[in-house]
Amino acid sequence: MSDAYEDEDLAAYYDVINHQRADTDFYLELVLAADAVLDVGCGTGVLLKEARAAGHSGRLVGLDPAEGMLVQARRGDGVDWVRGDLGTVAFDGEFDLVVMTGHVFQVFLTDDEVRAQFAAVRRALKAGGRFAFETRNPAVKAWERWMPEYGTDIVGPEGERVRVEHFVESVENGLVRMSETYSSPDWPEPRVDRGTLRFMEVRELDALLGETGFEVAERYGLWDRSALTDTSREIITIARPGPHPAARRR
């Protein structure tokens, strides 16, 4: 969902909706063990803010194209918040760890987009660096619960009551098109955002990682570091730069 993240009012609901996160401990441990960290698609910046609060003393950079999300992020000090994406902002051998959390990876819809992201992440890493991210396991069909009856009721920052509902419009070739509707008795009309997410098989993912010079260092199916199985909700990857693809062909 993209427009919702551009919109300062709707972005203010993000942390309220996602207040119970299962991924925090997993990523926080990685961030605290790394000196310089880039969070691609940092959103409201919750991970890097927690890392700073937990005593991280190195360089923390949060990158996101959505101004609404960055307005929330900038409420935290001690982190460089950068507006943009890896197509517009280049980093060169600067980070020990690059993360992409909250299923940001699924906004990249084509193999070429994914290759471009992976190549830019590889460029951003120092030698020996790591890239950690997750994507939802397509076998579990998470989108089957993205229906209005599973909507969420929240209370916004101004005390307003808001209902958030998802509706899947189509599922085709791993692309799930959907809408997200925010409604409130206090508003004249609902606000609707539309977006598409890609669900990728693990073999497709690993092929693209390999093509762009990554090796899978660790792979899990859930945030407790349990192994990936057919029924795991997540495909969690920690990748490391391997031999450069051009070097391997020689």
Q: Answer for the pair 168, 176: CB distance below 8 angstroms, yes or no.
A: yes
101 binding ligand SAM? (CB under 6 A): yes
| Integer Rg of the chain from CA | 18
CA 22 from centre of chain? 14
69 binding ligand SAM? (CB under 6 A): yes
How many residues sit in the footprint of ligand SAM (CB under 6 A)?
16
Is 139 in a helix, a strand, or coil? Answer: helix
Q: Residue 114 and residue 159: Cα distance in Å, rounded?
A: 40
* Residue with Cβ nearer ligand SAM (66 or 209): 66
Stretch that binds ligand SAM, among 97-105, 119-127, 182-190, 224-232 (CB under 6 A): 97-105
* Residue with Cβ nearer ligand SAM (50 or 242): 50
Strand partners, 170: 177
- Tokens 């909507």 sit at which residue? 151
- CB of residue 50 to ligand SAM, shortest distance in Å: 11
Determine which residue in the list 36, 104, 197, 238 makes contact with ligand SAM, applying CB under 6 A: 104
* Residue with Cβ nearer ligand SAM (67 or 186): 67
Query: If residue 28 lies in a helix (H) or strand (E), which one and from where to where?
Result: helix 24-32
Q: Answer for the pair 99, 47: CB distance below 8 angstroms, yes or no.
A: yes
Q: Answer for the pair 42, 15: CB distance below 8 angstroms, yes or no.
A: no
62 binding ligand SAM? (CB under 6 A): no
- CB of residue 87 to ligand SAM, shortest distance in Å: 7
Q: Answer for the pair 103, 40: CB distance below 8 angstroms, yes or no.
A: no
Determine which residue in the list 10, 31, 41, 131 makes contact with ligand SAM, applying CB under 6 A: 41
46 binding ligand SAM? (CB under 6 A): yes
40 binding ligand SAM? (CB under 6 A): yes
Q: Which residues, 75 to 94, sit near ligand SAM by CB under 6 A? A: 85
- CB of residue 248 to ligand SAM, shortest distance in Å: 28
DSSP-derived secondary structure letter, 94: -
- CB of residue 247 to ligand SAM, shortest distance in Å: 28
Determine which residue in the list 13, 49, 65, 162 makes contact with ligand SAM, applying CB under 6 A: 65
Question: 146 CB contacts (<8 Å, ≥6 apart)?
Answer: 166, 167, 168, 176, 178
Residue ranges in contact with ligand SAM by CB under 6 A: 5, 40-43, 46, 64-66, 69, 85, 101-104, 107
